[in-house]
Amino acid sequence: MPRLDEGTEQRLKSFAGELARLWGEELVAVVLHGSGAGRHHLPDVSDLNVLVVLKRVTPERLKELARLRRLYRRLPLDVTVLSAQELERLPEAYPIEALELWERRRVLHGEDPFGPHPPSVPPGALRRQLLGELLGKTVRLRELYAELQSARELERVIGELVGPYGALLRALLRVVEPRYPPPEEYLEAVTQVEERLGVELPGLREAYQVKVGAHRPLKDELQQLLERVLDESERLAQRAFRLLRDELGDARASTGTAETGRA
């Protein structure tokens, strides 16, 4: 499995060690997750996603974390802080994030707060969050399309779409293909969603090329790309809603038939 380079690895371990020194037994775990803990990390492109789990989150500890992050500013850290109690509630409140964390994680300090088994997600929670997130992303893209002016802003925003949409595409595959784990690699997730839902997503593919620097469009091309991604986002949300609504309707019908038979 490809790993982070030695320098990055050592700085991450040092960062986790400093947190342990600061907070002692109040620190439950420091967990690297996302691409940095998987097989598709892109040096100088991908952030290092770190989850910090504390027994209690206080303003003073957040200030200490902010001071420490300034000392480690060479690391592209994206830090999430949760209390142990909040982590327990994550599968119900944010099932997409809970499943993403469980599937790609590496403990840097403490015990694994997730354990060996997937989070127990309440029935329907994943569907509800997925549909809400797909609609929310579409609305936000419309706002960005109206706001963005410079090529640099457009390129940045388009590159930042890859991570969130990768998580949403994997969540969609978890719902429509629950027997199989979704692919970790972004482009493979795009391909599987295209095949499973019968949609074409070339804009989301091209966004990946922009993110990794393989394609550097001009401003007009970036605006056109954002238009394509917006159109794909709208169609993907509509297609997912129809699919999941139909599946829910089928499930209700089956339940009603079974209850009639028992009666």
The answer to which of 12-16, 164-168, 252-256 has the lowest mean pLDDT is: 252-256
Q: Which helix (H) or strand (E) holds 33?
A: strand 27-33
Domain ranges of the chain: 6-110, 125-262
User: CA gyration radius for the chain?
Assistant: 20
- For 52-93, write each residue's pLDDT tens digit: 999 999 999 999 999 999 999 989 999 999 999 999 999 999
pLDDT of residue 5: 84
How many CA atoms are closer than 13 Å to the CA of 251, on its beta-carbon side? 8
CA gap 124, 122 in Å, rounded: 6
CA gap 75, 97 in Å, rounded: 22
CA gap 64, 136 in Å, rounded: 33
- Over range 42-53, report the average pLDDT: 85
Q: At residue 261, does pLDDT exceed 80? A: no
Write the burial class of residue 210 (CB in 10 Å: 0-12 exposed, 13-18 middle, 19+ buried). Answer: buried
Supply the CATH classification number for the domain 6-110. 3.30.460.10
- Over range 213-226, report the average pLDDT: 91
Three-state DSSP at 4 gives coil
Strand order in the sheet with 77-83: 77-83, 48-54, 27-33, 105-110
pTM of the model: 0.86
Fold of 125-262: Four Helix Bundle (Hemerythrin (Met), subunit A) (1.20.120)
pLDDT of residue 246: 65
CA gap 229, 234 in Å, rounded: 9
For the chain, what is the mean pLDDT? 89
pLDDT of residue 39: 74
DSSP letter string over 171-222? HHHHHH-TTSPPPSSHHHHHHHHHHHHT---HHHHHHHHHHTTS----HHHH
pLDDT of residue 216: 87
CA gap 29, 20 in Å, rounded: 9
How many CA atoms are closer than 13 Å to the CA of 124, on its beta-carbon side? 5
**Residue type present at position 188:** E
Q: At residue 160, does pLDDT exceed 70? A: yes
- Over range 124-135, report the average pLDDT: 93
Residues 118-133 as b or e (16 or more Cβ within 10 Å = b) = ebebeeebbbebbbeb
- For 171-202, write each residue's pLDDT tens digit: 999 998 888 889 999 999 999 999 999 999 99
